[in-house]
Structures are given as structure tokens and as C-alpha cells.
Amino acid sequence: DTGVSQDPRHKITKRGQNVTFRCDPISEHNRLYWYRQTLGQGPEFLTYFQNEAQLEKSRLLSDRFSAERPKGSFSTLEIQRTEQGDSAMYLCASTPRSSLLGETQYFGPGTRLLVL
């Protein structure tokens, strides 16, 4: 068990470009979450999956954002036509079980995105 991993760790892109981030959760974790964190703030929930099903998307997730979790394993988060306001740390987390009250979330190291 190597923990939650995210790739890349850093991404610099120009406004208008598309970017894709990958998250590999701890194996056999059912739930996977994406959060966004800006400087000086706590993480903000974006979306989550239970196995391969995307169950909820935050209002923060505009139409330019899409997330997938094929086969219930790794997940990708794509941002199309990036804007400077998308610059943030994108965090992925996973939990081992579903619908159990109070599950600890295991976070990855994050992908820091800078849109120029």
C-alpha cells in the first residue's frame, strides 16, 4: 500500500489550454474525492465517485471540468479551456468503505496548477 498518488505534481499551462490530472487511490478504496485548494484556504469539495459512478458534482465544477473513474480504479480530472482562476492545488482523496459514518479520507500530495 503506497498511499494515494497524483500525477503530475506540478503543471504550468497557458490560458485556454486543456489539462488532465490523474489520481491513483489506495487499492480497493471504494470512494474517491476531488478537492480544490487555493492559497490560504481549506480544500473545497468538487466531486466524488463510488466505484466507477460519479455521484455528485459541486457547483464549483463548471462545464469546463470533467472527471472520470473508469473501472472504479484510477480517476482523471480534466479542465478544458483553462482560465487563470483555475490556478490552485487539486487534491484527490480516497476512503476504504461506502456509507459508513466517519470514514477517514486519505489524501494524495496534490497537483499544483498554474495558469498563465
Partner 1 sequence: SQKIEQNSEALNIQEGKTATLTCNYTNYSPAYLQWYRQDPGRGPVFLLLIRENEKEKRKERLKVTFDTTLKQSLFHITASQPADSATYLCALDPVEDAGGTSYGKLTFGQGTILTVHP
CB 36 within 8 A of CB 92: no
Residue 71-110 contact track with partner 1, rule CB under 8 A, x = bound: --------------------x-x-x---xxxxxxxxxxxx
Task: Give me the least distance between CB of 68 and partner 1, in Å please.
Answer: 19
Q: Which is nearer to partner 1, 76 or 80 (CB)?
A: 76
Task: Give me the least distance between CB of 110 and partner 1, in Å please.
Answer: 5
Tell me which of 7, 26, 45, 54 binds partner 1, using CB under 8 A: 45
Interaction site with partner 1 (CB under 8 A): 4, 31, 33, 35, 40-45, 48, 55-56, 91, 93, 95, 99-110, 112
